[in-house]
Chains A and B, each alone.
Chain A
Amino acid sequence: MSKKRLDSKSIEYRKEILKIIESARRGHIGSALSIVEILRVLYEDILKIDPKNPKWDARDRFILSKGHGCLSLYVVLAEKGFFPKDKLATFCEFDSILGGHPDAGKVPGVEASTGSLGHGLPIGAGIALSAKIDKKDFRTFVLMGDGECNEGSVWETALFAAKYKLSNLTAIIDYNKMQCFGNTCEVLELEPFAEKWKSFGFEVHEVDGHDVLALRKELSAVPFKKNKPSMLICHTLKGKGIKKLESNADWHHKAKVSDEEMRELYGDLEDQV
């Protein structure tokens, strides 16, 4: 998919992710790199939030349902000032607030603890429904993985969201077409993916998930249709921005990353500049 070159900000975010990997020597690296631009646009341009008051009642809610992509979330939250940047280097340490999956009880700005897949959309639908009942204006965004859509709870909730016309709910999918074992089309085919979501009652748009301008345009336009939940399928590349990791299932999750591998990763990222 995306041939788009990354701009300096996107490269900077990826450098921060690599720095975390260098400290912890582990993480869901490929899964984090495919959502950098989605999170960047959400937090820079879309979400109404106040990092100094993370529980602000009127805030927009965002749930990273694919919790394993948290390296990107942590970098973006730190950049926005939800917590000090020096916390990033503590990733996965015993006493860290930043674990291998995000914990709402520990990390300011995290709405729901995720990690096990298929939980974010139901929780997000409940939050969206509460806003509707209380006639509140805030919006709820849920970012899911494509492999996550293997889970039945995702589709149960799709039925629910359509029934209650949750137009204040936007689901986003990081469609990098790979899951832990390999290609989604081989593990458990999702296609025709957009058609499925349409038939479940969502108004579906598709976008290049690494194109910042296009993402901004789409996410500014939600709800895509009155009285329907919105779905933005983002076509992305697993490991985007670091050649060694791109579309490479071996780097979905990695532990014991060596010094030599770290040099390679930094080198690959430099080549993007």
Chain B
Amino acid sequence: MRKTCLNEIHRLAKNDERILFFGSDIGAGTLSNFQAEMPERFFMEGVSEAAIIGVMAGLAMNGKIPYMNTVGVFLTRRVYEQVLLDAGMHKQKIRLIGSGGGLVYAPLGATHLAFDDIAIMRAIPNMTIIAPCDAEEMKRLMPLTVDHEGPIYIRLGKGGDPIVSSPDKPFKIGKAIEIRSGSDALLLTTGITLKIAIDAANILDKQGISCQILHVHTLKPIDSNAILAALNGKKIAVSIEEHTLIGGLGSATSKVIATSGSGVKLSMIGIPDVFPDKYGSQKEQMDYFGISPEKVVEAVIKNIKV
């Protein structure tokens, strides 16, 4: 997903002089072809993220469109005020591409886990937040980011994530995608949790329970209308996210449910309000926190049978 994203920036930059690429101090050789072809638009600026965000905002004020990639936590909590004021308040077109959304950097520990990125970025007015589910969806997203108004935060997965999106379902920023229709339960996903929902829906299907899946790739602005329409007639909704249960997809969905009075029960699957204290792999931590098809199945069955 990251490779596709960066390659897309390279491709787009070839045809658009406004596009610049910034990194802090990321992996050696990143976008070396971009650097070789367009050195004057390639910036590797060291571990000085606060300055870089301000610099990018200044560039954007004069018509440039800077894209920046580094570890997600350093693009969100590390530089929160810079993003909020320099980009958010000034409505500047900077694009922040956060590597390792959620639990990807499991072996590195809590300092590197972006479990709160969506929550804090959602609180920034004018911000757009997108978590694609796979590299193919990333490819459909990137051309749309060039002229989109205001700042964008893009959350990356681990890389090599299974392809679950389809070119048959058009991608539009801010529009949730119905992956499959169903009548009993609604599964809401963002980022790579779409795969978990598909696996859960397949299991439930065999048990005669029909699930609709709504992939909410854009977390802000959230597609309330699509969520509301999908809730209609359902016995249970389950939100699945690789993120703290505070302020992410589940929170956003609960607001839609509560304020609409739809009354559908919501089961929220995600990371509880703790600092992840294990290492291992992303998959191990996802299982540890119950972000798995089995737990989705459990949540649906428990509520359908009530």
**A residues near B, CB below 8 A?**
104-105, 111-113, 116, 118-119, 121-131, 133-134, 152-153, 156-157, 159-160, 163
Contact = CB atoms under 8 A, between A and B. Distances in A.
B99 interface: no
A118 B85 CA distance: 11
B86 A119 contact: yes
Nearest to B41: A133
B90 A156 contact: no
A112 B90 contact: yes
Given A153-B51, A156-B51, A160-B51, A130 B90 contact: no
Contacts of A156: 48, 50-52
Contact of A122 (B41, B46, B63, B86): B86
B124 to A, nearest CB: 14
Interface string B48-67: 10111111111111111000
B55 A125 contact: yes
Dominant secondary structure of chain A at its interface with chain B = helix
15 contacts: A105-B90, A112-B58, A112-B90, A119-B85, A119-B86, A122-B58, A123-B61, A126-B59, A126-B61, A129-B59, A153-B50, A156-B48, A156-B51, A156-B52, A160-B55
A125 B58 contact: yes
A123 B81 contact: no
A133 B81 contact: no
Nearest to B58: A126
B168 interface: no
Contacts of B89: 105, 113
Contact of B64 (A112, A119, A133, A163): A133
B37 interface: no
Interface in B159-177: none
The 9 closest A-B pairs by CB, nearest first: A126-B58, A122-B54, A156-B51, A156-B48, A130-B62, A126-B55, A153-B50, A123-B58, A127-B58
Nearest to A123: B58
A127 B59 CA distance: 5
A123 B55 contact: yes
B85 A157 contact: no
Contacts of A116: 81, 85
A197 B288 CA distance: 51
A113 B90 contact: yes
Given A113-B85, A160-B51, A160-B52, 18 more contacts: A112-B90, A113-B90, A116-B81, A118-B50, A119-B82, A122-B86, A123-B54, A124-B58, A125-B55, A126-B55, A126-B58, A126-B60, A129-B58, A153-B50, A153-B51, A156-B48, A156-B52, A157-B54
Contacts of B60: 126
A62 to B, nearest CB: 13
B147 interface: no
Interface string B83-114: 00110011000000000000000000000000
A152 B59 CA distance: 20
Contacts of A124: 58
Interface in B110-130: none
Nearest to B40: A133
A209 to B, nearest CB: 25
Nearest to B48: A156
By CB atoms of chain A within 10 A, which of B57, B58, B61, B89 has the most?
A: B58
A119 B56 CA distance: 12
B86 A123 contact: yes
Nearest to B84: A116
Contact of B90 (A104, A118, A129, A152): A104
A123 B57 contact: yes
A131 B64 CA distance: 11
B45 A160 contact: yes
Contacts of B86: 119, 122-123
